[in-house]
Chain A
Amino acid sequence: MSGELDGLLTFFASHHAIRAEKVLAAAGLDVELVPGPKELSPNCGVAVRFRYEDREAAARTLAEASVKLDEVHPYRPATDAFAGGSRRRRRSGRQK
């Protein structure tokens, strides 16, 4: 449920984000790869949405897996509120 994903992990490079999503999902955390919000990070590509309350576990899991983390943010994107008129498509990201 994207509504509960109220945090964001940003990375220095997209391949770090891809690795992080894999590692965190395997550790049982609720995560989703999303386009990196430009107001939070100048890096090309993607970031990982997660439950902000999981931040310590997430940081620990990433450190154990040697995945470099840039920053941790509380984050509820503006786009969650988009009703899309008649469209109410399912999120295209990977759901856990």
Chain B
Amino acid sequence: MVTYFDHAATSWPKPPSVEQAVMAAFGESGGNPGRSGHRMSIAAARVVEDARDAVAEVLGAADPGSLVFTKNATEALNIAILGTVEPGDHVVTTSIEHNSVMRPLRFLQSRGVDLTVVPCAEDGTIDPTAVGEAFRPATTLLVTTHGSNVVGSVLPVAALAAIARGRGVAYVVDAAQTAGSMPLAVEDLGVDMLAFAGHKGLLGPTGTGGLFVRPGVLPLPLMRGGTGSRSDSEEQPGFLPDLYESGTLNVLGLGGLAAGARHLLDVGLERIASHERDLVARFRHGAAAIAGLILYGPRTLDDHCGVVSFNIDGLASSDVSTLLDREFGILSRPGLHCAPGAHRTIGTFPTGTVRFGFGFTNTATEIDGALLALTEIAAWARKRDVP
């Protein structure tokens, strides 16, 4: 038995229906979607469109046709960022972004794009007015995370969207940590594009993800190629989702993603969000009482997704993570979590933190077990002779 606290990297276990759906896609729906009119091709296309319907419902997208499937949130963010910005443009982002946002932006910066990184507070929260003040006449894009993959802070996306809209700036949101873990209502948020991972909160297999694209927004695609549509033309189709879905899709993965999303709808996103909030509250409350444990992130649960970060005095995050796994069967993630800026923001660069990413299948008992383990590790760290 393991205690799996790495849902922020990928969720586990998946609902049994996800595995069944993947296996089912080997059978009658094993054709190539959209490439032919025979029954197995049509069945495969139905698998893909069923996934689009289910994920649209989870995200609160009115039109499933505004969703594009990619292999992960990173690819979706690359489409949204690289496909929108041109040399001479100015882009605004925050200091807690994942490298899936920062690396494309740093690349663009090297190609003549201006970039402003608005600092977040030490708890990973941000003042939206500071973001507004960073806008210039040349600003064309705002990119922010929704929920931090390091400290679990949830940024005020609706407020940021209103500011961006008021200034005519396109707004891209990285919802890798929040899609499927809380109700999103993407239409009401007013964002222009929102990237999601299929294998985290949405409970699908790895190799799935996508991008919500508001009607009227058309970033350039990263890739061009066969789509099964307009096959008489050597020009890329200009309509969604084909503009961004060149090459055969991951039908097996998307079958699983559809099942994962349906599972979320059955359970209820409010219930999932509330359960994860309870787990975070229980952990934060218990962790605050452990001598030698340093807890990061926002104190208010309203600004929190299911991610917490901490360190133990006198131990590297990787040592704590090793002990948690080896001695207690608790699976965590140490280090920088591919977000160096976030660690500079909270003061833990370059050593990083231990991260727990909670999911709906985690229990209060598991939290209590982890708190006991951390108490034991912290006590040992205090006692041992530092070489």
Contacts and interface: CB of A to CB of B under 8 A. Distances in A.
Given A38-B334, A79-B319, A89 B326 contact: yes
Interface stretch (A17-25, A29-37, A57-65): A29-37
Nearest to B335: A38
Interface string B332-343: 001110100000
Nearest to B353: A38
Nearest to B338: A44
Most chain A CB atoms below 10 A, which of B328, B335, B352, B387: B335
Given A38-B352, A42-B350, A81-B384, A92 B326 contact: yes
B351 interface: yes
A78 B315 contact: yes
Given A79-B323, A87-B327, A92-B326, A35 B334 contact: yes
B327 A35 contact: no
Nearest to B317: A38
A92 B352 CA distance: 24
Interface in B343-360: 350-352
Interface in A57-88: 77-79, 81-85, 87
Nearest to A86: B376
B316 interface: yes
Interface residues of A, number: 21
B338 A89 contact: no
A64 to B, nearest CB: 29
Contacts of B321: 35
A78 B328 CA distance: 17
B336 A42 contact: yes
B384 A44 contact: no
B318 A78 contact: no
B322 interface: yes
A91 B329 CA distance: 11
Given A35-B321, A85-B376, A44 B327 contact: no
B26 interface: no
Contacts of A42: 335-336, 350
B377 interface: yes
B380 interface: yes
B376 A37 contact: no
Contact of B380 (A83, A89, A91): A83
Contacts of B317: 38
B320 to A, nearest CB: 9
A28 B384 CA distance: 35
Interface in B79-127: none
Interface string B373-387: 000110010001001
A35 B318 contact: yes
Interface in B122-168: none
A87 B328 CA distance: 8
A77 B322 contact: yes
Contact of A35 (B322, B328, B350): B322
A7 B385 CA distance: 21
A39 to B, nearest CB: 5
A83 B376 CA distance: 10
B265 to A, nearest CB: 33
Nearest to B381: A78
A79 B381 CA distance: 10
B325 interface: yes
B384 A36 contact: no
Given A44-B338, A82-B380, A85-B376, A36 B326 contact: no
Contacts of B323: 79, 82, 84
Given A39-B316, A84-B376, A89 B335 contact: no
A76 to B, nearest CB: 9
B316 A84 contact: no
6 contacts: A37-B316, A37-B318, A44-B336, A82-B380, A83-B380, A89-B329
Shortest 7 CB-CB contacts between residues of A and residues of B: A84-B327, A38-B318, A37-B318, A79-B322, A79-B319, A35-B318, A38-B316
Interface of A: 34-39, 42, 44, 77-79, 81-85, 87, 89, 91-93
Given A82-B327, A83-B380, A92-B329, 17 more contacts: A34-B322, A35-B321, A37-B318, A38-B318, A38-B336, A38-B350, A38-B352, A39-B351, A42-B350, A78-B316, A79-B326, A81-B384, A84-B323, A84-B376, A87-B328, A89-B327, A89-B329
